[in-house]
């Protein structure tokens, strides 16, 4: 089974976002398991990133992809990383240059989203990637 870890600052406070996260976790439960690790501050998040083998960083300056490109990228990463993947959403000031160095940076948009919204968007795009791989009509 594929294992996906989310690393981020702060907890999900909005109940409607938490409900959305739980819905996508449920939809993906037969294909992937999730671990969510929330940190109190950016320094703690960055210390954890340094301990991880491979982490994809969500960053406004990262590579933008459409959903099909993201699906292809995601499954290549699953294959390369042994079905395990960690993704990190930075704090308000983003990631330090030290943390960014040598890591893949992914961007949703040039727009800014809250950490909570970013979690939901990311999880929906992961669900969409699984649906694209299956050839389901969800993506259409």
- Quick: pLDDT tens for 128-137: 999 999 999 8
Give the residues across from 111 on adjacent strands: none
pLDDT in tens, 90-118: 877 789 999 999 999 999 888 888 888 99
Domains of the chain: 2-139 (3.40.1280.10)
Q: CA dist 9 to 43, 53, 61, 75, 118, Å?
A: 9, 19, 19, 26, 11
pLDDT in tens, 43-54: 999 999 999 988
């Amino acid at each position: 089974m594929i294992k996906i870890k989310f690393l981020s600052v702060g907890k999900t406070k909005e109940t409607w976002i938490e409900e959305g996260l739980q819905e996508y976790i449920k939809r993906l439960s037969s294909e992937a398991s999730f671990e969510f690790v929330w940190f109190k501050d950016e320094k703690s998040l960055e210390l954890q990133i340094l301990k991880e083998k491979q982490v994809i960083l969500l960053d406004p300056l990262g590579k933008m992809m459409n959903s099909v490109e993201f699906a292809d990228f995601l499954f290549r990463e699953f294959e390369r990383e042994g079905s395990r993947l960690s993704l990190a959403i930075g704090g308000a000031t983003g990631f330090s240059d030290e943390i960014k160095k040598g890591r893949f940076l992914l961007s949703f948009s040039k727009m800014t989203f809250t950490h909570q919204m970013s979690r939901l968007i990311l999880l929906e795009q992961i669900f969409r990637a699984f649906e694209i791989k299956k050839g389901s009509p969800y993506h259409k």
